[in-house]
Amino acid sequence: MNTKFRKFTKILAFLIVIAMVVTSLTFLITPVAFGAEKENTATTNTATKEERLEILSKYIDYIIDNYKDKISSNTLLDGAFKGVTEAMNDRFAEYYTTSEAAQEFKDAIENTTIGIGIVFDTEGDTCNVLSVFSDSPAEKAGLLAGDIITKIDGKSTAGLTTTELQALMKNGDIGTKVVLSIDRNGRAMNFTVIRGIIGEQAVKGGLCNADPSVGYIRITSIDSDSSEEFANEVSYLTKNGAKGFIIDLRDNGGGFTNRAVEIADRILKDGVITKYVTQGRIYYIAEATASQYMTEPVVVLVNENTASAAELLAGALHDNGCALVGCTTYGKGESQNVIGFADGTAAKISVQYFTTPNGDDIQEKGITPDYVIYNRLSEPVPEVVAAYEGFAPMSENEKPVVGSKGLNVYGAQQRLALLGYYKGKVDGTMTRETADAVKFFQKEAGLYSYGALDFTTMKMLDELTYDFVHKTSTEDLQFAKALELVQTKKASRK
């Protein structure tokens, strides 16, 4: 739920900055046209790839010979590779100038490296903590999923790449300290984390205290041996009396998609697991092999930090009959490959999308659970309570639709933003973006989903917002619902 508060606090204030860009040009034009001996090449950009690469090579040579300062060919070539990578407009793509940097990324997924024990993501200039490994240096220091890292050892995280952020947090010997400045629900906090070996077992399980006939398996990440760990946990819990299972994928930032497929294959008897899509076509469909599968009822827990390969697994189980409980997942339905080059450099690029078995797109949308339940915080956040008390009342006798204006729309936008459904302007105008947020809220709340602010929708929106702000609880409401569903499914099989 921290991410919901975070999204809200960002829209509480707007800062309008008017900036003038001052540049200096020397009006001296030197007639240099690399490759211009070919008709129209320089002006119409119709040269072949090979011809343009030859032009680029000559351009680099020209810069080395004529640039006002000394510059190496490696620096320019690194820039060219970075430019190609950035041209894809893929926020998960990255060019690594050294093989060590690429290996650090692989080690992070493998879960065996020196570090602090978090999964993070970047969105714009924001560094978001998606999950914190149990018993890790980060957990011991007090970090939580949903925190925003604003500074690392005093250095702002704004504008840094994932590689640069990762290096600042993990580069250092075991026992060295790194200070993280955190934004938690609008409150600035500092945490000193002591680096250590991160080699957490990604899959852990046990029998539920409330009902020992139900096995609980938490998967914190999907690394190279997660499928074997999962199989071991299922075998152990089944031998010890488990007749149903809760699989917890909350705060799981993902990992290897092929391992997620393997875990799904260990659960499902038959059916499609996922469909891989590249350049607009399905090129491979992964299906359950029935080599081993579970006969016990399974319920899956997800939240807004369930991402990537974990979403693949959640989608596979959901479309094959397993209930999902929690809140809409992160929405990363694509996977990356790391390509190593002969010169020691490397790049990470997105090579495919994956969909649910039914063909539903995950990218930027996530997966909406069958039972949408938000856990409450253990204590109120004063800033959020104060903001809520200043919300506009939705008391006008009208049902706003696209194009409408008024307090009903303004108040709805405020509440939708607080709950994380709306990211647009809070200005009292019912835009298409506002209507889409209303429609999504209606869908999750079990109402008729059509995007108009009828009286029932406004009443429920106000009630849920009030509960969200004021009614705190340490009870895991999502887990309680999952347990209830498993127990019901078990009972129906007797």
Residue with tokens 């009443």: 459
Residue with tokens 């250092």: 172
Q: Known catalytic residue: 57?
A: no
The domain limits of the chain are: 113-198, 203-372, 380-470
Q: Measuring CA to CA, which residue among 35, 30, 102, 103 is closest to residue 67?
A: 30
Q: Measuring CA to CA, which residue among 354, 320, 318 is closest to residue 335?
A: 354
pLDDT for residue 457 = 96
CA-to-CA separations, 32 to 59, 62, 72, 268, in angstroms, rounded: 9, 9, 21, 64
| CB atoms inside a 10 Å sphere around CB 14 | 8
d(CA 464, CA 373): 11
**CATH, domain range 203-372:** 3.90.226.10
pLDDT for residue 125 = 82
Catalytic residue among 4, 151, 275, 332: 332
- The answer to whether residues 363 and 333 touch, using CB atoms and an 8 Å cutoff, is yes
pLDDT for residue 218 = 96
pLDDT for residue 30 = 47
Beta strand spans in 262-411 (E): 272-278, 281-287, 298-302, 323-326, 334-340, 346-355, 371-372
pLDDT for residue 43 = 44
Residue with tokens 């702002």: 156
Amino acid identity, position 138? A
pLDDT for residue 110 = 62
Alpha helix stretches (DSSP H) within 73-189: 73-87, 99-110, 137-141, 162-170
Residue with tokens 């094959």: 320
d(CA 425, CA 428): 9
Residues (pLDDT < 50) of the chain are 1-30, 37-43
CATH topology of domain 113-198: Pdz3 Domain (2.30.42)
pLDDT digit string, tens, across residues 244-295: 999 999 989 898 999 999 999 999 999 999 999 999 999 999 999 988 899 9
- The answer to whether residues 419 and 465 touch, using CB atoms and an 8 Å cutoff, is yes
Name 178's Cβ contacts closer than 8 Å, sequence gap at least 6: 116, 152, 153, 168, 169, 172, 192, 193, 195
Q: What is the pTM of this model?
A: 0.69
Q: Known catalytic residue: 360?
A: no
- The answer to whether residues 339 and 349 touch, using CB atoms and an 8 Å cutoff, is yes
Could you give the angle at which helices 407-419 and 382-389 cross, rounded to 10 degrees?
Answer: 170
Q: Is 192 exposed, middle or buried (0-12, 13-18, 19+ CB in 10 A)?
A: exposed
**Alpha-carbon Rg for the chain in angstroms:** 26
Terminal-residue alpha carbon distance, the chain: 37
pLDDT for residue 7 = 37
Largest CA distance in the chain: 87
Catalytic residue among 319, 335, 348, 404: 319
Kindly state the tokens that stand for 374. 């938000």
Residue 281 pairs with which residues in a beta bridge?
Answer: 278
Q: Known catalytic residue: 332?
A: yes
* DSSP states along 444-471: HTTS--SS---HHHHHHHHHHHHHHHH-
pLDDT digit string, tens, across residues 370-385: 998 888 766 667 777 8
Catalytic residue among 131, 227, 308, 335: 308
- The class (CATH top level) of 380-470 is mainly alpha
pLDDT for residue 428 = 95
